[in-house]
Amino acid sequence: WGLGRDLERLRDTERQLGELTQQLAGLTEVNNELNRQSSGRAGAITHLSAQLQDARTENMRLSATLQEVQTQLHGCEQRLADSEQRRESLQQEAEHLRSRQMDPQLTQQLLATQSLLKSTYQPQHSSNADGSAVGGWLQEAASLL
């Protein structure tokens, strides 16, 4: 009877060994599939890491370009402000000159009057008070022209 029990235990052990072998084969297949997935994910992570580095490099390049454009914009704004001040200054100067400019018709009248006065009042003596006053007035009028 000892031998029967030993045979029975041997059959149980072989059955358990068969079940464990089947479980091991299933687990080995699952492990292989997980390794394939892990390898694929590692490749994807490597690819994404390279893309992230490229994006960081592009971001740095764009930041430098933005800084350069902002510097140029500031320079343009400054030149625009300077040009505006210069334009205002020139406009004021033009208004000032325009206010001092004589009307062409008035200029013609003054020239005609000067000519008439010169021909009419020829001072006979330099001591003549009216003649020298007119002469001084004529010189002043001539300086305005």
pLDDT value at residue 83: 93
Q: What is the sign of the dihedral through the CA atoms of 66, 69, 71 and 73?
A: negative
Rounded to two decimals, the pTM is 0.45
Query: In b/e form, how buried is each residue of 118-128, taking b as 16+ CB within 10 angstroms?
Result: eeebeeeeeee
Identify the residue whose tokens are 């358990």. Answer: 16
Query: % helix / strand / coil in the chain, to the nearest 5?
Result: 90, 0, 10
Distance CA 77, CA 84 (A): 10
Vertex 137, ends 139 and 133: CA angle to 5°?
120
- Show the tokens assigned to 29: 């297949």
pLDDT value at residue 127: 47
pLDDT value at residue 140: 63
- Show the tokens assigned to 117: 């006065």
pLDDT value at residue 84: 93
Distance CA 17, CA 11 (A): 10
Distance CA 92, CA 104 (A): 22
Instruction: Give mean pLDDT in consecutive 10-residue pieces for the chain, a chain of 145 residues.
Output: 86 96 96 94 94 97 97 96 93 84 77 80 53 60 57
pLDDT value at residue 137: 61
